[in-house]
Amino acid sequence: MTRSSPDFGDPAWLRDHRRDVLEFYYPTCMDEERGGYVAQLDERTGEVYDPDAKHLVATCRFIVNFCRAARDGGPDWTRSAAEHGVEFLLEHHRNDETGGYRWLLEGTDPVDDHYSTYGHAFVLLALAEATTVDVDGAREALDNAFALVDRYFWEPEQGLCRSDRDADWGPVEQYRGQNANMHMCEAQLAAYEATDDGRYLDRARRLARRLTVDLAERTDGRLWEHYDADWTHDMEYNVEEKAHQFRPWGYQPGHHAEWAKLLTELDGHVDASWPLDRAEELFAAAVDDGWDEKRGGFYYTHAPDGDPIVADKYGWPVAEAIGAAAVLADATGERQYREWYGRFWAYATEHLVAPGGNWYTKLTVENEYVDTDEGPAVEPGYHPIGACEAALASAAALQSSD
């Protein structure tokens, strides 16, 4: 393909972009008085619109971002910023009496102390990344968090994790979800890479196989989001709320791209062909069903017949597709993935990257900005920094030519 300008495969460009994202948040994000981070920054101005909300997912994602940069020779402050977050995670999000991690704080005061499967997946991921840069207490906390997940969320007979629990570890609902289990797989894979402990790899492999092979057989290889307590596909869940913020009805191309990235990474650790085979199939599903050929970007959701449902464009699916294309280019050597990689970045830099270096969360179908500055923020640049991480690991393949 004709090389785009800038060179999106250039490690120097990727590191500069990662630093731009980090510096949009830092140092404004550092709550030096109460600890932890402030994630509620206006995407256009960088001004804080809520200094108090501390969401578990945002705390963990900040830690991941700073650890990844610190591990790759980022600015000196990235390590101290990561340590700052781990301290807050363990001292304030974690309930010392139960061991669980609270969902939402105002300052340091719990306002929602239920225990989320999705949230605990990000706890594992944050502690795994912190382990790689030797943050004090991270490895012990990682193993303890794994034991907690194993005890309260893991359903061994299903090979998957159940849904959320209340502050006393009681069950909250019969619902089971794909998304939380995808991120649990991501976290277990990161924990294995951080520790070389085989139990984490075994768990990641089982989660991936159950969701992307076994359950996907019933939906022609595509990944449904919603299930009953026995992991039967619930095709009616939120059918009347198709634009639900967290559990929309329909297929999500972004999750197909995200799984394509994870399965390709898993392929490097297992002696089997199915992870890479499924990764290529899921990447194809993401772009075939979800990519807007006319205007660029991924539709958020689509119906089983492929028609868009929620046509808004979010930033995170593009970031995950960048990562997927990068690792697939490396794993397969196929030119199509390098071409898609450049195409995704070209769209992102034209429409999603804000003047401050951060990414916009959401655009309309016509790629116009949508204000999302309300409620606790959970995405402090985690997805674009993850895209840079995957691309840096695959840089040689991205720069090769046929």
C-beta neighbour count of 233 within 10 angstroms: 14
Residues assigned a catalytic role: 255, 383
| The pLDDT value given to residue 401 | 54
Interatomic CA distance for residues 50 and 138, integer angstroms: 29
Evaluate if residue 28 carries a pLDDT over 60.
Answer: yes
Query: Residue 180 has what DSSP assignment?
Result: H
**How would you write 4-19 as a 3-class SS string?**
CCCCCCCHHHHHHHHH
CA dihedral sign of residues 106, 89, 15, 326? negative
* pLDDT value of residue 232: 97
CATH fold label, 11-399: Glycosyltransferase (1.50.10)
End-to-end CA distance of the chain: 9
Can you tell me the mean pLDDT for 277-299?
98
- Residue 3's pLDDT is 44
Percent of the chain clearing pLDDT 90 (strictly above): 96
- Confidence tier at 372 by pLDDT (50, 70, 90): confident
Tokens encoding 312: 């808004």
- Ranking 3-12, 18-27, 155-164 by mean pLDDT, the lowest is 3-12
Residue 65 belongs to what H/E stretch?
Answer: helix 56-71
- Residue 274 CA to chain centroid, in angstroms? 22
d(CA 177, CA 158): 13
Q: Tell me the residue type at 276.
A: L
Tens of pLDDT along 176-206?
Answer: 999 999 999 999 999 999 999 999 999 999 9
pLDDT at 1: 39
pLDDT tens-digit series, residues 37-94: 999 999 999 999 999 999 999 999 999 999 999 999 999 999 999 999 999 999 999 9
For residue 350, pLDDT beyond 90:
yes
Is pTM beyond 0.85? Reply is: yes
Which pLDDT belongs to residue 374?
81
The CA distance from 294 to 317, in Å, is 17
How confident is the prediction for the chain on average, in pLDDT?
A: 96
Among 150-164, 240-254, 314-328, which stretch is predicted with the lowest mean pLDDT?
240-254
DSSP state of 53: E
Give the mean model confidence (pLDDT) for residues 120-147.
98
- Per domain, the residue ranges of the chain are 11-399
- pLDDT at residue 400, as a whole number: 61
Q: Is 359 left (phi over 0), alpha (psi -120 to 50) or beta?
A: beta
